[in-house]
Amino acid sequence: MDLSSFDNSWYDPGRNLLVRALWYYLGSPFFRWPGIPSSALRRLLLRIFGAKVGRGVVIRNGVKVKYPWRLRVGDFAWIGEDCWIDNLAEVRIGSHVCISQGAYLCTGNHDWTKETFDLITRPIQIGDGAWVGAKSIICPGVTMGEASVATAGSVITANVPPGQIWGGNPGRFIRLRECGSHRRQDAGAHSGLPRE
């Protein structure tokens, strides 16, 4: 590997240098400050910087968001303490989704098969009613289906079908999720994600 030949000049972060600097030096530190008394201020700050955030979203202390303008969150989602949304590409989080403490949503990686260590970016989508367990890692390009689960500490490298529970490293199918008195075997048509 020759890191001196690394070139990501093709990558477009989605906003100009001034907006990115405002987020890095003012918006992000204030967003992460533990003295913010409610999620309402965090939601407002994300919206100011271009995120689409639904009603009743709970955002706990220490959440880190790389680029708010590449974040879409449905209604009544929960984002737990110290989650990192590393969204070089778009991250879409559906309604009634729980992202537990310390989870890492990673949309960027490098091509380790190339000497130039090229940057790779892929979006992440998490369907309505899904649960990302504490300290889980959701890798680039993953879609978690409606009502799916990534158990605590999982590394999810492949798509998780609706209503399935996956766990481990790498994440594998464990069983179907029980929701109420019935099994979730397929997702409905409603995504719950904010519209463009």
Q: What pLDDT is recorded for position 37?
A: 83
Residue pLDDT, tens place only, 141-155:
999 999 999 999 999
Q: What pLDDT is recorded for position 180?
A: 55
Provide the residue ranges of all domains of the chain, joining segments of one domain with +: 16-179
**What is the CA angle 165-140-129, rounded to 5?**
35
What confidence tier does 186 reach under pLDDT thresholds 50, 70, 90? very low
Residue pLDDT, tens place only, 35-73:
888 899 999 999 999 999 999 999 999 999 999 999 999
CA 118, CA 79: separation in Å to the nearest integer? 30
Q: Which CATH architecture has domain 16-179?
A: 3 Solenoid (2.160)
The H or E element containing residue 46 is: helix 39-48
What confidence tier does 166 reach under pLDDT thresholds 50, 70, 90? very high
